Chains A and B, each alone.
Chain A
Amino acid sequence: MQLRFLVPVLTFVAIAVVMWYALFNLNPTEIPSELVSKAAPEFSLEAVPGYGPGLAKSDLATGKVVLLNVFASWCVACMVEHPFFMELREQDTVDIYGLNYKDTPTAAAEWLQRHGNPYKRTGMDLKGRVGIDFGVYGVPETFVIGPDGTILDKVIGPLTRPMFDMRIRPLLKGAES
């Protein structure tokens, strides 16, 4: 049996499979969050004018799973996910808190007025320092916060329905049971 010629062929196939997988399934711009399964960092922020009483770390430990969405009026991708958040709010699926990242109060308020407010509370991170404490490196990002205020997961980029169903819904169910 002279099957030795298969060695280079199989080597090539193995490398091709690995590269194919990496090319289409791994996203190099997605850096896994260091804060998953850790407590949310300490912070206390004022609300976007006219949108709730402000946001602090203690507001996130609510006894149920909630979302913390990092958004900004200058962020184009935020508009992509915004209708979905409005839907979640209408159906009362999950409470969403808004962290307004490096924005101006007026621009943020105008943006929420124009596109609707899906957030239960909002906080303005004018200098982006709270964002850095959360390990935010781009907008939008959405944190899933557990009943006791620990960070369960982070979704980088616009949150879509398939992603919500796959990554967040199981966490919501897990907390109920």
Chain B
Amino acid sequence: MKALCHLTLLLCVTLPFFALPAGAVFLDERLEDPAQEARARDISGDIRCLVCQNQSILDSNADLAQDLRQIVRERITLGDSDAEVRDYLVRRYGDWVLLDPPFKMTTYLLWIGPAVIFLIGALLMILFLRGRSGQNETATTTVLTREEQAELDRLFDSDGPGDRS
């Protein structure tokens, strides 16, 4: 009974985080043709809202996002391909409007930066660990005393019939 209580509580607390993104579909803006509508939503989902920055224009209810959604739908009904619609917006707002920016000269740092930082980190860590294990070797190889060596020899000899050469 207590376990059930805990479970319910846990669900109540965590459920909001599992809720699916509402996808804020603004119904009054829909296109007649379901295929075109699907394309419009697909494109809008990849266009970054300039006002709320980390939302796509599909999710944002900013005024500008609404205008841009309408433009996306207009371009589609005018017969633009997906790439042409994106181009139309990029010409006005730059690569910045794409949530998935293309790989080119001005954005290469954005794309390979994390990998470069990771590699530098890995290199430094390898160097650091190498240096440390080197230190350990010199620290532990102390010469055995005569008694210790004798003891060691005795142990080895008693171990087998002496086939060590």
| Chain A interface residues (CB < 8 Å from chain B) | 28-29, 31-35, 102, 127-129, 132-135, 137-138
Contacts and interface: CB of A to CB of B under 8 A. Distances in A.
B82 to A, nearest CB: 19
Contacts of A138: 50-51, 64
Contacts of A33: 94
Contacts of A132: 67-68, 71, 92
Q: Which interface class (under 10, 10 to 19, 20 to 34, 35 or more) fits B? A: 10 to 19
B94 A34 contact: yes
Contacts, number: 37
Contacts of A127: 67
A102 B62 CA distance: 14
> Nearest 5 CB-CB pairs, A to B?
A34-B94, A137-B50, A135-B92, A31-B96, A135-B93
Contacts of B164: none
Nearest to A28: B53
Interface in B82-107: 90-94, 96
A35 B50 contact: no
Contacts of A129: 67
A32 B63 CA distance: 20
A33 B71 CA distance: 19
A128 B51 CA distance: 15
A137 B64 contact: yes
A32 B94 contact: yes
Nearest to B93: A135
Contacts of B96: 31-32, 34
A135 B71 CA distance: 13
A24 B50 CA distance: 21
A91 B71 CA distance: 41
20 contacts: A29-B53, A31-B50, A31-B93, A31-B96, A32-B94, A32-B96, A34-B93, A34-B94, A128-B67, A132-B67, A132-B68, A132-B92, A134-B92, A135-B92, A135-B93, A135-B94, A137-B50, A137-B93, A138-B51, A138-B64
